[in-house]
Amino acid sequence: MPAHFSSIKKWFFLSVPIIFILGSLLHFLFDLSGGNRFIALFAPVNESVWEHLKLPLLPTITVYSAFFFAFHKKFSISTKSWFCSLLFSLISMMLSIIFLFYSYSQALGFESVFVDIAIFFVAVLIGQMLGLHLFRFCKGLPLPFSIFALLSVFTIFALFTFFPPDLPIFFDKSSSLSGIQ
């Protein structure tokens, strides 16, 4: 465990509202950009569950990377542990969004924007708690694997934004569309 673990632990929890706010702002970026196709690579293009999985993507990578480059020497942060933590934090956020959204919307038979916003916050909190746990207790994955996995996630989002499979998670009920139009 790094010598400055308590400072790193504080960062994990302080980053929750930062990731939440940045992700929430991303929700509107595609429309504000006038439908810019580059922005579509990392911001939701419609109201499908899949597109909302982009909300934590860029903010989490940005916040983790900024902290790492600013403090890795000061806090003796292991590169392997840090980027492994980032990868698993991000994936757990996305899986939490899927699980929590479908759990409440299918079990209760309704959808609410307020519940969806709360789900995003809870998903970020879960992701950061799991990321902290992995950072503390895991030696990490080889850095090339973590980077390859993160690039693969970006690639999959780019591909499925423009060529979404015909599956319910990609379908926007409000517009009857999927992907970018």
pLDDT tens per residue, range 50-83? 999 999 999 999 999 999 999 889 888 899 999 9
| pLDDT confidence band for 117 (50 / 70 / 90) | very high
State the average pLDDT over residues 152-157.
95
Q: Is residue 48 one of the residues assigned to a domain?
A: yes
50-to-5, 15, 26, 161, 169 alpha-carbon distances in Å: 35, 23, 14, 9, 6
Q: How many domains does the chain have?
A: 1
- Distance between CA atoms of 123 and 16, rounded to whole angstroms? 10
Contacts of 18 (CB under 8 A, 6+ apart): 59, 63
Instruction: Give residue 80's domain range.
Output: 5-163
Chain-centroid distance of CA 168 in Å reads 20
| pLDDT confidence band for 33 (50 / 70 / 90) | very high
165-to-24, 102, 173, 178 alpha-carbon distances in Å: 25, 18, 15, 9
HSE (CB half, 13 Å, CA atoms) of 161? 23
1-to-143, 145, 181 alpha-carbon distances in Å: 18, 22, 48
Q: Is residue 174 one of the residues assigned to a domain?
A: no
Q: Is residue 172 one of the residues assigned to a domain?
A: no
Q: Is residue 171 one of the residues assigned to a domain?
A: no
Q: Is residue 173 one of the residues assigned to a domain?
A: no
Q: Is residue 129 one of the residues assigned to a domain?
A: yes
Given a cut of 70, whether residue 3 has pLDDT beyond it is no
What is the reported pTM?
0.93
Say which residue the tokens 């934004």 belong to.
Answer: 161
Q: Is residue 75 one of the residues assigned to a domain?
A: yes
State the average pLDDT over residues 127-146.
93
What average pLDDT is seen over the chain? 93
Q: Is residue 169 one of the residues assigned to a domain?
A: no
